[in-house]
Structure 1
């Protein structure tokens, strides 16, 4: 997967808990046009497991998922997704 340089939208869900992490992400993706990209800042653990999987199940392209700090994989991550 290649990380896009820029995204059309940015969403920080690090203060949210499941299921709101996916709900907030899904609402924004639904408002986007096909082909637009979204960068999501999310926590490790349940959000990191569920949000990318759920978006892929809806048919969207998960472009990349990377930790903000490669030395601390338990910290926030960045997810890039392209709307189908």
Structure 2
């Protein structure tokens, strides 16, 4: 399990898709979520405006919960998604 300091969200799995472009950003995210148990949390690292809009939206449309998003100064975004049941 990946964990951060007490003020940050914890995650069961991590996925770095900063080098991917749409539609592969969500394809890789969906494959990771498919391998997880309901209720587990996936931390996704992504980059770019299109993935930042599309990955959380598509995850929510598929019944997963977007818990948090953090943007860094370098343009990367950390996105925590809880797998739905």
Gaps of 5+ in 2: 1-6
Structure with larger RCO (C-alpha < 8 A, sep 6+)? 1
Q: Size of the alignment, in residue pairs? A: 78
Range with greater deviation from structure 2 (16-25 or 60-69): 60-69
Paired residue for 2:51, among 47, 52, 57? 47
In structure 2, what is the equivalent of residue 83 of structure 1?
Answer: 83
Gaps of 5+ in 1: none
Q: TM-score, normalised by structure 2?
A: 0.86
RMSD of equivalent CA atoms: 1.4
State yes or no: 1:30 paired with 2:34. Answer: yes
